[in-house]
């Protein structure tokens, strides 16, 4: 019953997390586009303090948007704030981390090959990783506060490389790539909580008090908002990577995460430059070429699979004990592995025929050593090779 409740809770939190993330990312993309697309205002509007304006059409209506350089002549009665999109995304994501990875640390968080093998210590290591990663980002950004945006973006990529390497050293591969996304998302949420919103509150307070607003603080808020914009695609990549065991199961997965995140940031830069009217397709072409090159190199450097036995010698009788011991404990109508109320992904692997029915999925999951989770069942290389050969035999027979 407890496992079933956890499954329903995970589904609810995942839905809320996705909806909140759509709202946050949508707002980030929109306001970056808006800010970069503003045109110089006319003399009358400039005299009232407007620094830029933009006209747009959407949903059957025409909108006139203006941005004040700092302060409007008078504050409106109602001012809309954008913060709960960020907070709700981070809170629901944290709740998912707890319910899916912390409550199932023995199967989802730890790996026999990782630095951390004790489930309880793994949870503490996860918290330390997220908090330490935030402190590292905040400290380096404050230290480089006078540097250009380009310099800070380079520093962020260096931090990403360090944290990606550390995550894959500490945790199981799938949990590791999610932790990279989680620490980047924590940077983003902290930017909103600790820099952007306080800066906006200080701006409003100065306007209401009739004192000159702090232009430096306003510029810092904008800078951190731009950081968030460049981090959005890397975070999305990490969060969706649970469908890509060929990435997180790669022997150099931490480096793949860095390379693909960098490609995503370059692609994002193309759109940011485009918003200013500076169309530079080379960035987008370069990002695509980089993605293709990474895919080719990753395929060529993937972990070699263990030598399979001759497929002619494989029989149902030889394969069934392996399936029963290493697959059916989780992938059954009623899993016996603690923490699972239903088969993960809805896949049932109880017989050799079930393995061959999902041959490509099984072969990929076993080849990347993603399954069994954390290898808690102690699958040997010989048993792994046998199941891979059994699955690939079915693939070869498929026209």
pLDDT of residue 310: 58
Which residues on neighbouring strands pair with residue 12, listed in sequence order?
none
Mean pLDDT per block of 10 residues along the chain (399 residues) reads: 71 90 91 89 86 89 88 83 92 91 83 82 94 96 92 96 95 91 96 93 86 86 92 92 80 93 94 87 93 90 64 71 78 72 74 78 73 70 78 63
Tokens at 27, concatenated = 């707002």
Cα within 13 Å of Cα(205), Cβ side:
9
Find out whether 171 and 179 touch, Cβ atoms under 8 Å. Answer: yes
Position of tokens 């731009």? 226
pLDDT of residue 399: 47
| Segment holding 96, helix H or strand E | helix 84-96
Contacts of 85 (CB under 8 A, 6+ apart): 20, 23, 24, 27
Angstrom distance (rounded) from CA 76 to CA 89? 28
- DSSP 8-state class, residue 309: P
Q: Give the N- to C-terminal CA distance of the chain in Å, as an integer.
A: 43
- DSSP 8-state class, residue 349: -
Find out whether 172 and 373 touch, Cβ atoms under 8 Å. Answer: yes
Find out whether 340 and 376 touch, Cβ atoms under 8 Å. Answer: no
Which residues on neighbouring strands pair with residue 313, listed in sequence order?
none
Rounded (5°) CA angle 139-21-284 = 80
Tokens at 103, concatenated = 């409550």
Three-state secondary-structure class, residue 28: helix
| 272-276: long-range contacts, CB 8 A cutoff, minimum separation 24 | 272/32, 272/36, 272/229, 275/32, 275/33, 275/36, 275/37, 276/36, 276/37
Task: Return the closest-CA partner of residue 359 out of 397, 333, 304, 316.
Answer: 397
Task: Return the closest-CA partner of residue 393 out of 370, 363, 365.
Answer: 363
Angstrom distance (rounded) from CA 353 to CA 371? 18
Torsion of CA 181, 182, 185, 186, to 10 degrees: -150
Which residues on neighbouring strands pair with residue 50, listed in sequence order?
68
pLDDT of residue 111: 80
CA distances from 232 to 162, 188, 264, 353 (A): 19, 9, 9, 42
Task: Return the closest-CA partner of residue 39 out of 62, 66, 61.
Answer: 66
**The pTM is what?**
0.80
Angstrom distance (rounded) from CA 105 to CA 175? 10
Task: Return the closest-CA partner of residue 232 out of 37, 22, 83.
Answer: 22
* Chain centre distance of CA 286: 22
Tokens at 259, concatenated = 């390379």
The verdict on whether omega for the bond into residue 117 sits within 30 degrees of 0, i.e. cis, is no
| 35-43: long-range contacts, CB 8 A cutoff, minimum separation 24 | 35/67, 35/222, 36/272, 36/275, 36/276, 37/275, 37/276, 38/67, 41/66
| Region of residue 344 (left: phi > 0; alpha: psi -120 to 50; beta: else) | beta
């Amino acid at each position: 019953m407890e496992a079933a409740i956890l499954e329903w809770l995970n589904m609810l939190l995942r839905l809320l997390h996705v909806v909140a993330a759509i709202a946050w990312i949508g707002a980030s993309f929109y306001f970056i586009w808006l800010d970069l697309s503003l045109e110089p205002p006319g003399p009358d509007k400039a005299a009232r303090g407007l620094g830029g304006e933009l006209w747009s059409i959407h949903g059957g209506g025409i909108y006139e948007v203006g941005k004040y350089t700092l302060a409007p002549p008078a504050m409106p009665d109602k001012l809309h704030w954008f913060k709960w999109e960020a907070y709700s995304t981070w809170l629901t994501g944290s709740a998912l981390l707890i319910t899916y990875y912390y409550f199932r640390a023995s199967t989802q968080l730890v790996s026999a090959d990782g630095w951390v093998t004790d489930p309880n210590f793994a949870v503490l290591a996860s918290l330390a990783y997220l908090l330490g990663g935030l402190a590292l980002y905040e400290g380096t950004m404050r230290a480089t506060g006078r540097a250009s945006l380009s310099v800070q973006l380079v520093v962020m990529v260096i931090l990403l490389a360090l944290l990606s390497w550390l995550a894959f050293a500490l945790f199981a591969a799938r949990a590791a790539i999610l932790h990279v996304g989680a620490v980047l998302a924590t940077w983003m949420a902290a930017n909103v909580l600790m820099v952007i919103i306080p800066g906006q509150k200080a701006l409003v307070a100065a306007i209401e008090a009739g004192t000159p607003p702090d232009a430096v603080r306003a510029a810092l808020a904008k800078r951190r908002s731009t950081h968030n914009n460049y981090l959005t695609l890397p975070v999305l990549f990490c969060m969706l990577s649970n469908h890509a065991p060929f990435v997180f199961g790669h022997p150099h997965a931490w480096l793949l995460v860095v390379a693909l995140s960098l490609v995503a940031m370059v692609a994002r830069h193309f759109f940011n430059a485009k918003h200013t009217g500076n169309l530079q397709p080379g960035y987008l072409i370069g990002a695509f070429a980089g993605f293709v090159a990474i895919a080719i190199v990753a395929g060529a450097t993937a972990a070699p699979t263990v030598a399979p036995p001759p497929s002619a010698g494989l029989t149902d009788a030889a394969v069934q004990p392996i399936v029963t011991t290493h697959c059916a404990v989780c992938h059954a109508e009623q899993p016996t592995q603690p923490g699972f109320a239903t088969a993960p992904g809805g896949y049932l692997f109880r017989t050799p025929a079930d393995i061959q029915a999902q041959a490509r999925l099984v072969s990929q999951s076993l080849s990347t050593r993603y399954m069994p989770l954390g290898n808690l069942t102690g699958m040997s290389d010989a048993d792994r090779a046998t199941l891979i050969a059994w699955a690939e035999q079915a693939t070869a027979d498929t026209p």
